[in-house]
Amino acid sequence: MKIIPDKIIRSKRKTLSITVDTSGKLIVRAPLRCSEARILAFIEKKSDWILKHQANRSVSKELFPGENLNEFKFLLQGTPCEIRYYDGKRLVFDESKAVLYLPKEKGAESVQKWLKARAKAIFTELAQNRAKQMGARFKSVRISSAKGRWGSCSADNTLRFTFRLLYAPYVVIEYVIIHELAHTFHKNYSKAFWSKVESYCPDWKTKRKWLKDHGYFMQIF
């Protein structure tokens, strides 16, 4: 089966890379002078990976919300949560039932605003507790809407996390926070960095795999 890319993006890069977006489209990034023959050969070599991820994307589409959010289910800290429309005027979360009550006139923007506020509170508390344990210092915790990375640590030790990390199980959230706090000591991915991560999260590889396997969650809301 010959696989044809949906889009080829050329730039001043030295290597070829491929990605499968949330809709299942194959995106190829290539050097400016890379021949079409080389691109197609690269795609052929990666065909198994491409087909697997396109199949996963086809299934994951069902996990994305539509315009009608009533009864839409998503993970909140790894636990199934359901949205239900109601006649009230403000968004209410019933933690005991794992139900997010949403006013009928509200939409995804209101849910996103609520998720950001919840993420800010949870991630800040976690970062403060883990920083004390690790002897780390950070400037502040900021919440973004990033769809390409779960977290980051700036040069001045400002920690940023996408609110979408809130979909992950609590232990996975902890790993990402430990990961970024480790960057306050090492601004790289050296052995010393990974040693620091492993000393506070021994099974970090399992947590990182969860994030890779559920990358499509970054498209929810």
Q: pLDDT tens for residues 178-193?
A: 999 999 999 999 999 9
- Residue 153 has a pLDDT of 97
What is residue 60's predicted lDDT score, i.e. its pLDDT? 58
Cα–Cα distances (Å) from 132 to 146, 166, 198, in that order, read 27, 22, 17
Q: What are 109's two structure tokens?
A: 């923007």
Which of 81, 217, 201 lies closest to 150, judged by CA? 217
Residue range(s) occupied by CATH 3.30.2010.10 in the chain? 112-219
Is residue 130 predicted with pLDDT exceeding 90?
A: yes
Q: What residue type is 21 in one-letter code? A: D
pLDDT at 2: 81
Residue 24 confidence (pLDDT): 77
In sign, the C-alpha dihedral spanning 195, 199, 200, 206 is positive
CA angle (202, 170, 81) in 5-degree steps:
150
Instruction: Kindly state the helix (H) or strand (E) to which residue 196 belongs, with its residue range.
Output: helix 191-200
The predicted structure's pLDDT at residue 145:
93
Output the CATH code of domain 112-219.
3.30.2010.10
DSSP string, 36-61: HHHHHHHHHHTHHHHHHHHHHHHHHG
pLDDT reading at 70 higher than 60:
yes
Note the pLDDT tens digit of each residue in 132-155.
999 999 999 999 999 889 999 999
Residue 41 has pLDDT above 80, yes or no: yes
pTM, to two decimals: 0.75
- Predicted confidence (pLDDT) at residue 20 exceeds the cutoff of 70: yes
Place of tokens 């499509």: 216
For residues 48 and 40, what is the distance between their CA atoms, to the nearest angstrom? 14
